[in-house]
Amino acid sequence: MPALFVLVYDAARALWQKHMGVDVLAILSILVALQMGEHATAAVIAAMAASGRLLESYAAGRAVREMEALLQNVPRLAHRLNGEQIQTVPANDIRPGDTLLVKQGEMVPVDGPLASPAASLDESSLTGEALPILQTSGDLLRSGALNAGDSFRMIAAKRAADSTFSAIVMLVQQAAAAKSPATRMADRYAAWFIPLTVLLAGAAWLISGDPIRALAVLVVATPCPLLLAVPVAQVSGISRCAGRGVLVKGGAALEGLAQADTLFFDKTGTLTGGQAKLIGIRGHGQHEAGELLRLVAALDQMSCHVLATAILRAAHERGVTELPLPEGVEETAGAGICGRVDGRRVAAGTPAFILARAASEPWLDAEIKRLAVEGATGVFVAIDGKLEGLLELSDPLRLETPRALRLLRRAGVRRIAMLTGDKREVAESIGSGIGVDEVHAELSPAGKLARIAEAAQSHCTMMIGDGVNDAPALASAQLGVAMGARGAAAAAESAGVVLLIDKLDRLAEAKMIAVATMRIARQSVALGMALSLLAMLVAAAGYLPPLDGALLQEAIDVAAILNALNALRIRPLLSNRTRLAADKVQALREEHQKLEPLLAQLSDLARALPTMMPDRQVQALQALNGVLRNELIPHEQEDEQALYPAVSSLLGGDDPLAALSRSHQEIFRGIHRLSRLFDPLQSPIPEPVIQDIQRTLYGLEAVLRLHFAQENELFSSLSP
């Protein structure tokens, strides 16, 4: 009787919501069996329903355990410094401005800047990055990261409730509490399955005159494959997505993810990383690129501007670590900064800020126009009243963006469109480079809504965003996807899917999992219903008694549900099965990071070579030749001889890295050509030789940038 009450309650709730609940047949079977005195049959049907619900609970529990693993690590205590005294207080008592001590092995309790010189953090719970990340003084630390090194001090910038980890936990709780409308698919099948069952049972009774045959038909038609196979498959798919760092808020979101064929996305913070990065230094005066960076970075030690942080980070990466302390620093918010460095008056900032302190130069207007076309930001530099050059910064594409878009197309996305408020020239240059179908630029939030609403009339739309201004678009799309790890809370709350790891290719994996999950759900339902229909015909013919039919239906249910549980084993990509050792991936990243300044040096030297003093030309070229031969060639040879064979064995095939090996040949050829040009160098260098060297430097830089990008994309896809 308890099982009957539960079924009646579920059926009544479905009818109240104007759905034909598939529990109706189970209820009808139990009632008819009790009426005919077939108590054993009624008990088997009730036991069948209960066991099926236990299987569903098992699958749901497994998914919830994976999704709520973060909840066990919520920081509850923190060490607040009061002078030199350490007070252990609840994390919720922390207020912005408090100085905190984070001991080894403890979790960062709130967001805030690092006050100690350095810290080593394990951010695997936030980003999926398996190896510790080194943070330096002033870097923003995010709650939820684990201290993998010595104790350090930090300044609280937010309360615990407003910090990164708390926002992620809230999203997990919302997803765990969200009711999955999994029965929607079951109800669609039930719309014809229930009437067919009743008609077949009635016909068997009418033709044979034996009501037991009708009962037998009802018993074997009890639709546990419909009741349980769909939700079990969906919850299993949600569990797999959670394991890949993608939070899917229920079965409706999973089904929408599987069906989505039109993708809209914001640019900043979604396709790009959302953080400025130094991409070039263009000197137009007597000072070389390295000296310009050193002087501006020295000034920026006194600034909290985001561009100053990016410039300081670039100086550190390029080995410019010993920076003099500037004097007489004055900063104009949003415009620039000036002061004395090594006795020279240095100013860095916008053109208007610089022109108030230095005379204009002929190249200034051309550089401003070029920056506008390329969508980059320029920090112009003046030294002792003379405009010397600029530092070029940009928000680069995420490493995984091109691969992610290719994988999304493979997963069923037919149309990809960029929606952005940026200028059209900038948006189109990025869109054409990554192969999107449409670019809609200079849009307001209302304009984004209009584009999505128009597409939703004939397509299943999916929108990806990260900012507060994206929240309305995320809510209006049939499926919203938020970059949750770094994005705004409003965007995450408006979305049906949240990427807890800020890697766009995880969305492609989640879509592949969703497609496979819905396919498994349909297969499970088809399997169960086909076997049930066959058993119904046998029962209608009088060859299957009700009790035997109930036992047979139990076996059919188990088969359908076990098939649905296959969704727990979905692994959509080769990279999920083939992994490169984490230390090799990390070593490659570090080597590329060390060589990154070399790429900028190639173009900077090519550009500055004609204006250099003759002796300085020879010195700069000889120094570059030494770097190429002592650092770049050994790196590429090591990749070719050790790393590539290891990766090739993982990927399979005859020669999967042929294209990358071909790039090595072009790199070696370019370096050899430069060496031949360097050998007979004499001062002054003839103009034709300078032009030949410039062409070779630009060509080598282009090949190296493409080669590094290909390696980073491939090896990142194989990283744990």
The DSSP letter of residue 160 is: G
Residue among 121, 390, 451 at smallest CA distance from 265? 451
What gap in Å lies between CA 477 and CA 480, rounded to an integer?
6
Largest CA distance in the chain: 113
Contact 491, 465 (CB under 8 A): yes
What gap in Å lies between CA 645 and CA 642, rounded to an integer?
6
What gap in Å lies between CA 149 and CA 132, rounded to an integer?
9
What gap in Å lies between CA 504 and CA 509, rounded to an integer?
9
Kindly provide the b/e burial profile for residues 28-59, where b requires at least 16 CB atoms within 10 angstroms of the residue's own CB.
bbbebbeeeebeebbbbbbebbebbbebbeeb
* Residue 371, token pair as written in the block: 């920056």
Q: Which residues contact 188 (CB under 8 A, 6 or more apart)?
A: none
Contact 218, 193 (CB under 8 A): no
Residue among 329, 330, 292 at smallest CA distance from 311? 292
Burial class (CB in 10 A: 0-12, 13-18, 19+), 206: exposed
Looking at residue 464, its amino acid is I
| SS3 at position 562 | helix
- Helical (H) or strand (E) element with 99: strand 99-102
Residue by residue, DSSP assigns 616-675 as HHHHHHHHHHHHIIIIIHHHHHHIIIIIHHHHHHHH-SS-TTHHHHHHHHHHHHHHHHHH
**Tokens 């007597």 -> residue:** 286
Looking at residue 604, its amino acid is D
What gap in Å lies between CA 319 and CA 331, rounded to an integer?
26
Q: Which residues contact 622 (CB under 8 A, 6 or more apart)?
A: 678, 681
What gap in Å lies between CA 221 and CA 211, rounded to an integer?
15
| SS3 at position 422 | coil
Active site residues: 266
Q: Which residues contact 309 (CB under 8 A, 6 or more apart)?
A: 138, 300
Backbone torsions φ then ψ of 394, nearest 5 degrees: -150, 165
* Residue 515, token pair as written in the block: 């497609």
